[in-house]
Amino acid sequence: MMFKTALTEMFGVETPIVMGGMTGVGYGDLVAAVAEAGALGFITAHMFPSGDALRAEIDKVREKTDKPFGVNMTLLPSINPIPYDEYRKAIIDSGVTIVETAGRAPTDHLPAFKDAGVRVIHKCTSVRHAVSAVRNGVDVISIDGFECAGHPGEDDVGLIVLLPATVNKVDVPVIASGGMADGRSLVAALALGAAGVNMGTRFCATQEAKIHPNVKQKIVDNTELDTVLVGRTLRNTARVARNAVSEEVAAIQRDPTKTFEDVKALMAGQRGRANVLEGGDLDGGIWSSGQSQALIHDIPTCKELVANIMAQAERVRSGLA
């Protein structure tokens, strides 16, 4: 029995499962494996220094699969300028037709994407931002609940309320993100009005993810209590794995007089990527992980993972009937 939704119909994917863009994780090898498994994966553009480098990664995925995949453009202010215009051109020239945006609204990129027939999924953390993004012309909303890894916003609304509240207010398909990890999550999200689910942390704990085995095992070992919120006092909240560094940052930030400068060295993304994701030193820096790690108990291939999720979803659906 298939799960046909607005998401599978719009993008021509076999399952309503998405692996959104992840910094330090969203490389072509993983995206190709996700696509071959029947889900929708995204290359993370800002990991590449130029449009040409991104184009090469897109080509790499195309060599491994003829199934749909997309590119994530996270639009953030950064110390070193990010070549967004180059990325956009590389996406369009390569014939990629699915883009996931996050961070600020993708308003300035939408006209070019629309002209090229590219559909845009925009990631939001609140109903009001979702409504605004749809008004600006995005095709799909991915709504991120408070449980998610990375940036959950500042409203602290869990997905079980945020998802149907968003579905009530927009007339485009909505993807459920944050806390999603298995077949039960998928059926629950569909019941709440979603057209599919986005899983980040769950896809980190797969064979094909190019991150250190220590990190994958730590995700399996961790519970729902093993994440920490940092950046709260700066109104730039991030949910990260609990370790010596994130505990230290959280402790420093309990003092509201402390600024970003006081934690800048500890929170450096490059440090987390090099020491933790690549080096396997679990206390070597800050790394993102969601509360869904409580539901992750194995490190399968992407093919096994997607098959297991869909089989469990089918069992749950039959049980409800």
Cα distances from 66 to residues 110, 202, 303, in angstroms, run: 26, 24, 15
- Collapse the DSSP code of 179 into the 3-class scheme (helix H, G, I; strand E, B; otherwise coil) and give the result: coil
- pLDDT tens for the 321 residues of the chain, in order: 589 999 999 999 999 999 999 999 999 999 999 999 999 999 999 999 999 999 999 999 999 999 999 999 999 877 778 999 999 999 999 999 999 999 999 999 999 999 999 999 999 999 999 999 999 999 999 999 999 999 999 999 999 999 999 999 999 999 999 999 999 999 999 999 999 999 999 999 999 999 999 999 999 999 999 999 999 988 889 999 999 999 999 999 999 899 999 998 998 888 999 999 999 999 999 999 999 999 999 999 999 999 999 999 999 999 997
Q: What does the angle CA 33 – CA 124 – CA 17 come to, to the nearest 5 degrees?
A: 25
For tokens 């994407």, the residue is 113
For tokens 């797969």, the residue is 206
Domain residue ranges of the chain, discontinuous segments joined by +? 6-209+298-320, 227-278
Distance CA 175, CA 184 (A): 15
Cα distances from 38 to residues 8, 165, 232, in angstroms, run: 10, 29, 37
Whether 241 contacts 217, CB under 8 Å: no
Crossing angle (nearest 10°) for helices 302-320 and 28-36? 40
Question: What pTM, to 2 d.p., does this model score?
Answer: 0.96
Q: Which fold has domain 6-209+298-320?
A: TIM Barrel (3.20.20)
pLDDT number for residue 269: 84
